[in-house]
Structure 1
Amino acid sequence: MRTRLLARLIPAALLAACGAAHAQEKQLETVEVFATESSWQAGSVGVGTFRDTPAKDVPMTINVVDRDLLDAQQANSLYEAMKNTAGVARAQLGATAYDNLSIRGLLVENRSNYRLNGGLPVVNLIDLPLENKERVEVLKGVGGLYYGFVPPSGIINLVTKRAGSTPVTAVQFSTDDNGSAVAGLDVGRRFGADGQFGARVNIVGGQLESPVRDAGGDRHLYAGAFDWQVTDRWLLKLDVEDIAKDVVEQSSIKTLNAVNGKIPLPHIPDPRKLIAPDWANYDAKAQNVQLRSDFAIDDNWIWTVEAGRAYLERDRNFSQMENYNLATGEGRLRISRTKDQDYTNRNLRTELAGRITTGAVTHDLTFGYAQNTLNQTLGTTRQVTVAQNLFNPRDIAKTAVTYPAMQPHFDTRDKGWYVFDRAGFGDWLLMGGLRASEFGYDHPTTEYTKHKVTPTLAAVYKLTPATNLYAGYLEGLEDGGSAPLGTVNEFEPQKPMVTKQWEGGIKTEWQGLQANAALFQIERPMNGVNPNGTTSTADDRYERLGEGRYRGVEVSAGGRIAPRWSLFASAQWLDAEFTEAENDPRLVGNRPANTPRVTASLFVEHSLAAVPGLALSAGAYYTGKREVDPLNQAAVDGFTRYDLGARYRTKLDGKQLDLVANVENVTDERYWAAAGDSRVNSNSPLLAVGMPRTLRLSAKLSF
């Protein structure tokens, strides 16, 4: 039904836009939509207490993927944007439903670590759309000062497009060699006598087809970014998103039980074959609303109030292939049929930011209060087990199930007061902050509240006008999580965890190129289902496993390296291990699951002088060997994915036309995209298969 509706709405919207643009052709002819050459440099960032701070002055590792790079690669998911940043890997799942990610070996929490415009925690249990985003920012490491209870993997911030002084009208169509067909409309205007009103609207929808046969579906996005300059001192911003995606989700593959301390792994199955039933839909809908007010009290102080709500509901048929024969592939498929899950984040923040000068020292001060309430309904689940073959899957008939009435409900509350001072004098920036946090957890059988104060200390030294050195120490807090379904302490929450991070590095700019290098160490408690070392899971308990240490080196560079040549590159070496164990000494010295020692990426684009408007590109993305469980009883091999691309910019009847083609996984390599994570049942980690070679095409006409 939704697909048929979109099929009527999208063409109508495109025709209306074309008509409107034709009526305004004189005014819009001179619009410059794309730069001739790529820069791919990070300007000011919009995340945490570093909002509107030049990336070079942020004393943490931060990567920015801008709109031009997203367009060059036709990035259609968060992973496809994040593949350009070192240390990023998939966790547990493949690519068919949504992106479950880890950074530096640490899981990125789907309900707290993904932010809209630096504030609202959006729920990443659906493919978060990129068509209405100007850039994706990745602030790696501990973010507790500003964001409260979040894992130290980092913050992924999605910055929306807004209306500028130049009108924007663009229509776009994309497809691939699987038969997908998605159309989009992007319109931005300023209104009013002085241009005090701004509106940027994106409408996207269409049919999705997957490289996995019979795993298609549909999606839509309706988004608006509005602003109103009420007075010369008062600015209001409103962002709204309505997102939906309904696709068939590919099955994950459960590892077999260990034999003599080793987990036998299957050979990688054909990624084009659907192991799950063709009725195993992942049907999710999300709505995000964010309102922000910035009021300049005087020339030095601004009062900000921000409120938002993120809501997601989903029905899911999640499959796990298990107990299979390594030679024949014959085994069983466990299908968890869940309906009526929903998640609601309600976020409120108010802060006062300003500048005072004491002698030769300038203080940029921030005083704030933030609270986020997460309401979560787990829905109702029935499990169905059927015979299936891992290598030659069969069609599976759908059978009716009766759902139980019980719907477990959880509430978590995260509140915090914080203060932050960035003191500048001479060539130094000294930064210090404190956050007093309160974390509460409500469940029908459990309720508790915890309090903690955590510090942030950092320094930046301007070695030259183009080069900064920095060092910092941060503490953060994260939710300890609750025991998953099937454990003996099912739904029991764990205590909040305190994480610590040390980082030092250098950031520099040289003739159009930005480069960064950092040394870091993160220490954190490790929670998970205890690896009891037996074939039985009857006594599995979710608990504190021990302490982990993540120590690494990261380098990155982005920008123009020569006339007509641009690159975006990054690499990370990570030494991660359990340093303490609560109940199982076998963990000490082991590497956490799904944590590659080396990750690296390189994307290069060349604009051809012989063919004006044509740019050719190539990318290589390496993920190293990963352990599949905390006991290190098996590991998956590393892999390199190679991509090729081309984009051509020309004029069509006086309008800007962009044609883009990308081939992902050119060599059609088979690889394991995900190898479990340290917070799931370590006796039965989940593996996910990477996607095969895929050709993507798009055309964008700007009026």
Structure 2
Amino acid sequence: MTKRNLALAVALAALGAAWTVPAAAQESAAGVHASPDEHALGETVVTAARQDGKGTFVTRRGSVGFLGSKDTMDVPFTTTNITQKAITQFDDGANPLPNALLMSPSVRTSTSTMYNDYSIRGFQMNAYQFKVNGVPGLFSQTNMPANFVERIDVISGPAIGIHGTTNSESAGGSVNLTTKKAEYGKERITYRQTINGRGALGEAFDIGKRFGKNEQWGVRVSAENIQGKTAVEREKLTTRDIYVNLDHVGNRSTTNLFAGYRYTKNDGGQRYFAFDGEGTYAYTGDRLPDPPNGKRNYSFPGQQITVSTWSAVLNHEQKINENWKAFLNAGHSYNLGSGYVQTSASRLYMLDEAGHFGNKLSAEKFALRNSYVQLGVQGTFHIGQVKNDVVLATDRNWYRAYWGFRANGIINGATGFTSFGSVAGSLADGVTSVTQNYPYSAVTGPIKTAQTRYSGISLTDTLEYGKASLLLGIHHHSVDVTGYNKATGAATSTVHSSANSPTYGIVYKPTENLSLYANHSQSFDKGSVVASNRMNTGAMLAPAKTKQNEIGVKYRKNGISAGLSLFQIEQDRSMDVTYTGDPYPTTVMEGKNKLKGIELSVSGRIAPKWTLTGGLMHLSTEQQTNTAYNGKAVSGIADWSAMLAAEYAADAKTSAFLRMVYSGKAPIYANASKQLEVPAYVTVDLGMTYRTTLGKVPTTFGLTAYNILDKQYWMSRPSYNYAIHGLPRSLVFSMQMDI
């Protein structure tokens, strides 16, 4: 049986189980109720219903942008609501959030120990795109902690029409992190100790308490510290954070304030290899080199990335009358890169099938500031027998980037920037040559290089009549991008762009167990400024438009949920075109990337002791251009992907789980005439937990082996010609005490 057929068989078997659940496994959905501490705050939900999804990896309810807290059966989109259990269970100490995101069939990871990279429906994303309680842009691309996260809500496909303006908009979808808050009727003091990799030690505290009349005030403190060597040779990870969530529930208002600090430093985390270099770095082979053992390290001495992040989010909801309420969502973050010594663009150029590589080195300091505010009203009214749920919101996002540099005199009348050095080596021998041109202390800055201002207004109306509901939405945003001279800090130019993004959706529920839906959604990012060495350098390209059409069916019965969807996505693209007689190419917005997909998911308790979560996705892609890439598949997107996670609870104390992740083959390009292929692979994670008491303290021990078969593999990265070095087998041992 081929890997493709194996992935299909596994997922179809899982779906079959959903339709043939034994009576002993029945878990009536009618028996699940929201707890009194569930409150909508504009775009997000601060807590999930306490008993909804308890003991499972995914749950039935989650935040859906402006639509608030919704059951997955009631929204015209593919959504996945990932529980705190999944976040904890698949926390390997280095990539907790991407590991948990794999619970969504739409998601594939292309992560490393440096970066939280992943994709939704073939569109690359990272931690820049995470929202926290509905507020975007709080973190940088580097690895994020997960100890403050209660739930992850994933919307698949363009979603700007239902969540509003955001910096670094992704057409693939939306990921919202709901923070932990104090629980009603329960004081929490939890201590967790972990050891993983080659001795990285971690400890975390989670403390929560409610107080005041009717427990209207709540405070939750989460703190974590991890230090030591990872499973990769000579790689060291240092990360620590503390976060506080304070909430208040009044008679006519709810307020939630989340704030904290994190520090992360990764020494020696190189995993990215590019195959589209030019000149000296051009790839000469016809196939990829065989992947090396995942524990091998290809970092040069001194390679690191160090980031400190301060962030805060405020959500407030004020009841106006019985039918109307106003809401505020606001946040601010400051990311300071105090140590950034990497290969250029964090990659090594592969040169040949023997595995030789090289690249220039980069040394910069950076700071990223992001501020966001959103104001809106939400109301319900009837027109005849039609119920209208209307949201009107306006928002603004300010994003400022600061970078350092090393100047080296005047070149052709402009300030030149010296390369930090160069590196060379091979997969067999590691890094064999390093040249460094100046010390890191010589890097100046950071100096402001760009400022982007987003302004948006959104209107949605959900009309309900009988068994059907219709979503109508429109979002308008405008963007002003100001560039600054990297040497002097002076403003050089400001360009403006604007766009409209309509969203339509329909849900029809012939029975309570069956939901049929369809949607059309669009998304726009800011227009881009043409880079240097082009005939139209400095020109502003129109925002790239993305359109999705999707139809699907969702089914739920006896505690089992299943879904099937078909979708098509088109995205405008820019490219370089060289016209006869021109010394440089011209960058134009020309052509499209087309993706057609099918997605299947299933989750729930299929037997008294068995819980299952699984799914698969198939993507067929095509580039439509006037270049040599016309008709070729889009770089880095796997044709098939599948995931199956099963948990067996032997008794109240002992449980075990298994997760298999399959990624199909993906094309990458050395150039338009040389297509390479990242091979398919399967990884297997295996773990167990044991609950007991130490004295009178409830204690849970856990042991998990990630990539237990120690598979050697390459990962692809959508829209990039990368092969990412797969991670090795790693063991994580944990002990959690609920004091």
Which TM class, normalised by the smaller chain length?
Answer: 0.7 to 0.9
Check if 1:155 corresponds to 2:171: no
The aligned residue for residue 515 of structure 2 is 468
Check if 1:211 corresponds to 2:231: yes
- Counterpart pick for 1:569 among 614, 619, 634: 614
The aligned residue for residue 8 of structure 1 is none
C-alpha distance in 2, partners of 1:570/1:666? 21
Check the 8 A contact 2:283/2:352 in 1, yes or no: no
What SS does the corresponding residue of 2:213 show, helix, strand or coil? coil
Check the 8 A contact 1:38/1:559 in 2, yes or no: no
C-alpha distance in 2, partners of 1:531/1:180? 49
- Counterpart pick for 2:152 among 129, 136, 139: 136
- Counterpart pick for 1:627 among 639, 650, 667: 667
What SS does the corresponding residue of 1:450 show, helix, strand or coil? strand
- Counterpart pick for 2:438 among 395, 400, 414: 400
Change (3 A) 1:217 1:543: farther
Change (3 A) 1:322 1:606: same
> Deviation digits for residues 399-449 of structure 1, max 9, x if unmatched?
633436794611112211111111111111111011122122111333222
The aligned residue for residue 451 of structure 2 is 411
Residue 393 of structure 2 aligns with an amino acid whose one-letter code is: G
Deviates more, 1:261-270 or 1:545-554: 261-270
C-alpha distance in 1, partners of 2:703/2:131? 30
C-alpha distance in 2, partners of 1:608/1:63? 27
Deviates more, 1:330-339 or 1:153-162: 330-339
What SS does the corresponding residue of 1:56 show, helix, strand or coil? helix
Check if 1:700 corresponds to 2:736: yes
Aligned counterparts, 1:657-668, within 5 A: 657-668=699-710
Aligned counterparts, 1:523-542, within 5 A: 523-527=570-574, 530=576
Q: CA deviation at 1:517?
A: 1.2
Residue 722 of structure 2 aligns with an amino acid whose one-letter code is: L
The aligned residue for residue 29 of structure 1 is none
What SS does the corresponding residue of 2:215 show, helix, strand or coil? coil
The aligned residue for residue 558 of structure 1 is 603
Aligned counterparts, 1:545-694, within 5 A: 546-578=591-623, 580-581=624-625, 583-584=626-627, 586-609=628-651, 612-629=652-669, 631=672, 633-675=675-717, 677-678=718-719, 685-694=721-730
TM-score w.r.t. the length of structure 2 is 0.83
The aligned residue for residue 332 of structure 1 is 358
What SS does the corresponding residue of 2:430 show, helix, strand or coil? coil
> Deviation digits for residues 453-492 of structure 1, max 9, x if unmatched?
2211111111211221111111221134455688887776
- Counterpart pick for 2:192 among 166, 169, 172: 172
C-alpha distance in 2, partners of 1:269/1:483? 38
The aligned residue for residue 526 of structure 2 is 479
Change (3 A) 1:516 1:420: same
Check if 1:201 corresponds to 2:221: yes
Check the 8 A contact 1:622/1:639 in 2, yes or no: yes
Check if 1:101 corresponds to 2:118: yes
C-alpha distance in 2, partners of 1:615/1:531? 58
C-alpha distance in 1, partners of 2:534/2:402? 19
Q: CA deviation at 1:185?
A: 0.3
The aligned residue for residue 282 of structure 1 is 305
Aligned counterparts, 1:143-542, within 5 A: 143-145=159-161, 146-148=163-165, 150-165=169-184, 166-229=186-249, 231-248=250-267, 249-255=269-275, 263-314=286-337, 315-319=339-343, 320-322=347-349, 324-327=351-354, 329-339=355-365, 341-380=366-405, 382-394=419-431, 400-401=438-439, 402-403=442-443, 407=447, 409-443=449-483, 444-482=491-529, 494-527=541-574, 530=576
Q: CA deviation at 1:636?
A: 0.7
Check the 8 A contact 1:240/1:290 in 2, yes or no: yes
Q: CA deviation at 1:656?
A: 1.7
How many residues in Structure 1 have an aligned counterpart in Structure 2? 649
What SS does the corresponding residue of 1:199 show, helix, strand or coil? strand
C-alpha distance in 1, partners of 2:334/2:535? 30
RMSD after superposition: 2.7
What SS does the corresponding residue of 2:420 show, helix, strand or coil? strand
Deviates more, 1:172-181 or 1:491-500: 491-500
Q: CA deviation at 1:697?
A: 1.1
C-alpha distance in 1, partners of 2:656/2:142? 32
What SS does the corresponding residue of 2:661 show, helix, strand or coil? strand
C-alpha distance in 2, partners of 1:256/1:44? 43
> Deviation digits for residues 57-108 of structure 1, max 9, x if unmatched?
12111112101122233354221112222243344xx512121222211122
TM-score w.r.t. the length of structure 1 is 0.87
Q: CA deviation at 1:544?
A: 3.4
Deviates more, 1:160-169 or 1:447-456: 447-456
Check the 8 A contact 1:306/1:350 in 2, yes or no: yes
Change (3 A) 1:562 1:317: same
Gaps of 5+ in 2: 1-49, 407-418, 484-490
What SS does the corresponding residue of 2:614 show, helix, strand or coil? strand
> Deviation digits for residues 299-339 of structure 1, max 9, x if unmatched?
21111012111221213222233364533x45534221122
Residue 294 of structure 1 aligns with an amino acid whose one-letter code is: E
Residue 208 of structure 2 aligns with an amino acid whose one-letter code is: G
Q: CA deviation at 1:545?
A: 5.3
What SS does the corresponding residue of 1:375 show, helix, strand or coil? strand
Check if 1:119 corresponds to 2:135: yes
Taking every aligned residue pair, what percent have the same amino acid on both sides?
22
